[in-house]
Amino acid sequence: MGRLTKAVAAVAVAIAISGAPTASLADKMVVVPAGNRSASQPTIPDASARRTSAFNTTYDAKYQQIVALLQRERKLMVQIRKAAAAYDVAPIHIIGALVGEHTYNVSAVGTAQTYYVKALAYANADFSFRYKGKSVQEFLTRPEFANCSEDKGSAILWSCRDQVWEDAFRGRTVDGVTYDGVTMQRAFFQPFYAGQTFGLGQISPLTALQVTDLVNRNSGFAKLTPEKPQAIYRDIMDPDRAIIYIAAIVRDAIDAYADQGFDISGNPGITATLFNVGQPRRRAAELRQAVASGSGRKLPVENYYGWLINDRLAELQALLSDD
């Protein structure tokens, strides 16, 4: 079997197993318990350590900074509660995503107003999503992406495209073109510079595209497309809209795992982990396959990012107490 055939087959399997749960799965929904599976925090990636060191700070200092921002910005907390209610998720899941991002990726700025200013700057910039001279729209017309159907909605469509990139292009030479060993997000959706940040929620354009149908349906926002990158940046950079997208991303992850028979809605560390690593459908399907194969793996496990959220859960829950 050729490389392309294998890639397409792998994507077909991933899409097939990401559909609605069978009756047996629905009857045997596994409720993932609260708390961490690991007694100690998993290893923090070197990239996070380098970023933290470069700015002469510490993880704890960054954690305290984002917690302080959430304590000050009561309007933001109101928005978090509203978004959580609109997407039927507990608000602690949104808090967990924000705290994890600003503890291990970028430091929180002084006020939410700074993010509004940045959103305006991106909205007025002239840019497109391109890689090696091709727009993402043009690249996606390649035959490797033929099995990624728009009929199945934005979540499955962009998850499929992301998987095809991983299987057929990342780190490979195809038709004489050598593709870097980087994610699709980094190749196409960072038009300004590597390591680029994406506002309060640190939401990537690719992830925003994945949940655009859900956000359109629940919140009435116009659907995002790569043809209008400024609209994508407006939505992920504007704090008011970013909170909506975080809620949608959490909802989408919970639904993806429920489709495979796992209820992760009571474990903010797991949803924070998925917010960090992405690709919830592929990961949920892999977990289901591991359970079915008798490998011994039975539950999702928090990474370093999600572990912190569960470890500090009481303190983070206190942010949601009424004034």
The whole-number pLDDT of residue 201 equals 81
Lowest mean per-residue pLDDT among 130-134, 193-197, 264-268: 193-197
Residue 26, pLDDT above cutoff 80: no
**Which ranges constitute the DSSP H helices of the chain?**
3-16, 23-27, 46-54, 59-72, 74-86, 91-104, 113-123, 136-139, 154-164, 184-188, 205-210, 212-219, 229-237, 239-259, 268-277, 280-292, 304-311, 313-318
Question: Quick one: pLDDT at residue 88?
Answer: 97
- β-pair type (262-263, 30-31): parallel
pLDDT at 107: 62
Query: Distance between CA 32 and CA 254 in Å, rounded?
Result: 11
* pTM, rounded to two decimals: 0.87
- DSSP labels, 99-129: HHHHHHT----S-THHHHHHHHHHHT-----
pLDDT band at 115; cut points 50, 70, 90? low
Q: What is the pLDDT of residue 117?
A: 53
pLDDT at 5 over 70: no
Residue written as token pair 């991002």: 101
Q: Answer for the pair 281, 18: CB distance below 8 angstroms, yes or no.
A: yes
- Tell the residue number behind the tokens 């960090």, with chain if given: 276
Share of the chain above pLDDT 90, in %: 62
Q: List, for residues 56-82, the tens digit of each pLDDT value.
A: 788 999 899 999 989 988 889 999 999
The listed range with the strongest mean pLDDT (25-34, 104-113, 145-154) is 145-154
Judged on CB neighbours under 10 Å (0-12, 13-18, 19+), 141 is exposed
pLDDT-derived band at 149, boundaries 50, 70, 90: confident
293 pLDDT more than 80: yes
- Which of 116 and 298 is assigned the larger pLDDT? 298
Q: Which pLDDT score, from 0 to 100, does residue 74 have?
A: 87
Average pLDDT of the chain is 86
- Can you name the residues that pair with 135 across neighbouring β-strands? 130
- What are 298-315's pLDDT values in tens digits? 999 999 999 999 999 999
pLDDT at 240 over 70: yes
- The average pLDDT across 198-204 equals 82
Closest Cα to residue 7, out of 151, 162, 155, 184? 162
Task: Check pLDDT > 80 for residue 25.
Answer: no
Residue 237 structure tokens: 């950079």
